[in-house]
Structure 1
Amino acid sequence: MIDAASALLSTLDMAVVPSATENGNDAPPNSHATGANIPVHLLSDGQRSAFEFFLGFYAFTFVNATATFGLTPQTANMIHRIPFMFPPHGNKLKFLRGCEDWTMLIILDIVILRDWKEKALQAGRLSIRELNSRAALIEEKLQEGITRSSLSKTSATAADDNNRRRSTTPSTPPTPSLPSEIFEEEVRMMTSSFIHGALVFLNVVVSGFYPNITEIKSSVLETLTALEYMRARSVVNIPSWPYFVAGCLAQETEYPRFRALVTPFVPGKVPLVMTMWSLEVLEECWKVRASQPEEQETCSWVTAMKNRGTRYLLL
């Protein structure tokens, strides 16, 4: 689906994004500069709304898919165009998926960093010092986001919680029809979950799938805490991507807490299928880990999916 959508978008008259090789530099480009030259003025209002919705959902899906499975030749050609689909200082995904745009852009930076690392490693010229330097710049942005999220954290009253439960269903992203303070808190919780999950992802890109590394242990615990906070207070489902990424690197003592994030099925209500499927793959990952020596790099989320014969798009 992602490759097909990428092929469709590549036919549009989008702005020329200079590649790293054209600049004589193989470093990951700083991806957040200008906009795309898409002739939206030729579209009707309805067509434009549909087009903007498609672009936003495509960008969100693209980032999730490439962060989970890596780049294909088609997505590699598209990756530097994705940031141009977001308006400068805008929040396209805030109203579409309930999270702030910059979180997806930083996850995209980590995808680019992982691709750079893999290519440099294959060419025999990976500099650990340079890898750590680039990762530190991304981590600084994530830590700034964590600080902002903590400062904007609100304590909802019981009445606000009741309003949330009446205003939307458990499987949808928050909508602007919610009271503003509740909507902003929903967005903050969703964004916080993605920020912490991105930090786990970054640590894995730098260090590998080693759950006992200090920074991986701490970032997994912080992600789990953010997800538990959201599960206890939000009317929308927790996002599957940070749940899955953190769960794959969890400590054995944390397994029950990850299992508890999957709410029991209630007759007459829509089940949280994506979270249930994610847990099934996590159980496979944990089973493989149990059979491995502790010092060995553990089972990745891709390996766990392959073992089960599945490929889930973690939305």
Structure 2
Amino acid sequence: MAGGSRSRSGCWTCRLRRKKCDERRPGCETCEKLGISCHGYANRPDWMDGGEQEKAKSAEVRRDIKSATRRDAGPTASQPSASVHEPSPRVSPTLENATHHEPRHSPQEISTTLPTGTNQSDRQLLNSMLGLNVVLVGASSSGSYRSNGAQGFGRTQTSEGSGDIEQRQMPVIKERDASLLMYYMDCVFPMQFKMYNPAPAEGGRGWLLSLLLRTPPLYYMSLALAAHCMEVLEIPNGSDESKGVTSAQLASALQNLQQYITMFNEQPGPGSLEENIKVLVCIMQMIGFVGFAGGTENWQVHMKGASTIVSRFTDILCSSNSTSHLFESNRSGTVMSVEELITVKFLVSIFSWIEIANSVSSGSSPTLGYIHDRLLGGQDPPIRLDKVMGCDNTVMILIAKIGALDEWKRDAQATGKLSMMELVTRASSIEKELMLALSGIPGGRPPSADFRSLYGLSRATLSVYFDYVTEAYTLSALVYLHVVVSGPHAELQEIRNNVSQSVELFRRLPEPIIARALYWPILVTGSMALPEEENLFKEMLAESGVKPIFVGPGWNIIKILEECWRRRRTNDPLPVKEGYWADIMSSLDTTVLLL
């Protein structure tokens, strides 16, 4: 480390090594983590003579560190400590069960490098990662760091002492980690975002790989998620013991992610552009995992945190030169690179989709609804939701307006100030725009794709079916609108017409797996289905692969639909306090994330 940051009052071992000491007493944590003797803080040792004795002691310490490194690595060093017992409801992002299992392997040391240009804030964020006590060991701007902790991913050895530090420009990825990384890229990520299939000319998914390699907590979390999915989906008959281990490892990776986000939130000021991108992707990965694990955990908290960062990106996305004065500059100006722009657009798209679609789950209008016209409106909007989740921007903006109308109506009712004339006028305007959007959906349908698996989308994605998705969302938005105006009465003609059209569309789906991209339309339309139509919705989800322990919120959607149907059959309505679907979910003590 550069001399300016060397400890002047640290332990004698750290001073010998010319490393920063945490100065914990009686022995420092840095030495403990490295598995070497800490010589404390007493009087200057005799061997600290600036001559031959000091050189000999330095060589001895370096040998001890290398010996400890080989000891810890063992034959299983390349095995990931964070695996994944696929997001079943038993794996909780709140980490309540994180301490019930012990990792399969002992803590191991991880060596890699910080990207060029890393600033002190990045280093502080890295040091916040639970189980990854990062100690900088490099002197250059690409500063190597060593991370000691519970995440037992593969490591490389870094020479000790000044003048012989091994510098690497990229992390060394062990064979096992490389397999998991590719499994995440090829299978897990497409399962999370089924409609996202960027062309090479649009940057492909290279931004994702780059971000994974630059953001340690995201990298470890993604490897854990990949290992977990592989354990459950590829080896469904594996032992419960191995799945328990992967669950504990996933919990540890989730903790790292949470700590990274927490540290960022504690920083004064907005931080740099790079930091905001990294933290936003970590937050969205947390939310994505909630959806993967059934969508019932407290995802609203994460959405609130993400909204602050997303609002900062609005001016950048809507400006012609992609600059902003909000962020601390860590290079000449704050102009976004092409990769950063692609990354931000994807993250803001995912956030906007979740916020708009889940107005039915939360019973509230979107927090950032005031920026939707800027982000999603116009002929050439900066954000294209159809590229990410399959539905046209126009329809999603109108769904957000329905959510706002629903909240306005309930607030007006609570204060005795509801004007039915104003309600109908506002609803009629939205309905006309939805009907116009419906008429503009192409009639032609793409040919069936080759899906080799119910859960693996590596050979094909659902993006070719975006017009089915847009039509399903539009018809369901009309159902949503009429429920807001007239109440959840399935027999009403205006509701019946749109449900019938949706049922016909669902019967014409060329591939059962398309239902995985239609959770929101299935919930909204299915809740208004007549008894003779109920089986269609359950069969459609079952044929797409949904079962009790499965990735995504599909099984919980079935439970919500059954509760809707039960209440209608028994004439057991709920008082409308949060909105129809939010009230149903509250009665089940859950709020499902429709992702």
Q: Report the equivalent of 1:8.
A: 309
In 1, Cα distance between the equivalents of 2:469 and 2:534? 22
The answer to whether the 8 A contact 2:513-2:545 is kept is: no
Amino acid aligned to 1:81: I
1:219 aligns with 2:498: yes
Is the partner of 1:133 in helix, strand or coil? helix
1:128 aligns with 2:435: no
Q: How does 1:248-259 map to 2 (within 5 A)?
A: 248-259=527-538
User: How far is the alpha carbon of 1:259 from its aligned partner?
Assistant: 1.5
The answer to whether the 8 A contact 2:363-2:403 is kept is: yes
Amino acid aligned to 2:471: S
Q: Report the equivalent of 2:405.
A: 113
Q: Report the equivalent of 2:590.
A: 310
Q: How does 1:88-237 map to 2 (within 5 A)?
A: 88-90=378-380, 92-149=384-441, 152-156=442-446, 160-161=447-448, 164-166=449-451, 183=464, 186-230=465-509, 232-233=510-511, 236=514, 237=516
In 1, Cα distance between the equivalents of 2:364 and 2:386? 25
For residues 151-210 of structure 1, the C-alpha deviation after alignment (integer angstroms, 9 at most, x for no partner) is x21155xxx32xx125997676998x89xxx82xx1110100000010000001111112
Q: Report the equivalent of 1:284.
A: 563
Amino acid aligned to 2:373: P
Q: Report the equivalent of 1:57.
A: 350
TM-score when scaled to structure 1?
0.75
User: How far is the alpha carbon of 1:86 from its aligned partner?
Assistant: 2.3
1:43 aligns with 2:336: yes
In 1, Cα distance between the equivalents of 2:459 and 2:429? 31
In 1, Cα distance between the equivalents of 2:512 and 2:544? 17
Amino acid aligned to 1:135: A
User: How far is the alpha carbon of 1:265 from its aligned partner?
Assistant: 7.4
The answer to whether the 8 A contact 1:86-1:101 is kept is: yes
User: How far is the alpha carbon of 1:261 from its aligned partner?
Assistant: 1.0
In 2, Cα distance between the equivalents of 1:238 and 1:49? 22
For residues 100-151 of structure 1, the C-alpha deviation after alignment (integer angstroms, 9 at most, x for no partner) is 11110110111122222223323322221221111111111111122222xx
Higher helix share: 1
User: How far is the alpha carbon of 1:68 from its aligned partner?
Assistant: 2.9
Structure 2 stretches of 5 or more lacking a match?
1-301, 325-333
For residues 14 and 220 of structure 1, do their structure 2 counterparts lie closer, same or farther at Cα, with a shift above 3 Å needed?
same
Amino acid aligned to 1:280: K
In 1, Cα distance between the equivalents of 2:395 and 2:403? 13
In 1, Cα distance between the equivalents of 2:347 and 2:581? 28
Q: Report the equivalent of 2:376.
A: 86
In 1, Cα distance between the equivalents of 2:454 and 2:346? 21
For residues 166 and 14 of structure 1, do their structure 2 counterparts lie closer, same or farther at Cα, with a shift above 3 Å needed?
closer
Q: How does 1:236-247 map to 2 (within 5 A)?
A: 236=514, 237-247=516-526
User: How far is the alpha carbon of 1:275 from its aligned partner?
Assistant: 2.5
TM-score when scaled to structure 2?
0.42
Is the partner of 1:302 in helix, strand or coil? helix
In 2, Cα distance between the equivalents of 1:137 and 1:3? 30
User: How far is the alpha carbon of 1:64 from its aligned partner?
Assistant: 1.0
In 1, Cα distance between the equivalents of 2:485 and 2:534? 24
In 1, Cα distance between the equivalents of 2:345 and 2:542? 33
The answer to whether the 8 A contact 1:35-1:86 is kept is: no
Larger RCO (CA within 8 A; separation ≥ 6): 1
In 2, Cα distance between the equivalents of 1:44 and 1:168? 37
For residues 64-102 of structure 1, the C-alpha deviation after alignment (integer angstroms, 9 at most, x for no partner) is 122332227xx54x2212332226324611221122111
In 2, Cα distance between the equivalents of 1:276 and 1:140? 34
In 2, Cα distance between the equivalents of 1:126 and 1:215? 22
User: How far is the alpha carbon of 1:49 from its aligned partner?
Assistant: 1.4
In 1, Cα distance between the equivalents of 2:387 and 2:561? 30
Percent of aligned positions that are identical: 21
Q: Report the equivalent of 2:246.
A: none
- Please identify the structure whose Cα radius of gyration is greater: 2
In 1, Cα distance between the equivalents of 2:459 and 2:355? 21
The answer to whether the 8 A contact 1:120-1:126 is kept is: yes
Structure 1 stretches of 5 or more lacking a match?
16-33
In 1, Cα distance between the equivalents of 2:475 and 2:459? 20
User: How far is the alpha carbon of 1:255 from its aligned partner?
Assistant: 0.8
In 2, Cα distance between the equivalents of 1:130 and 1:48? 41
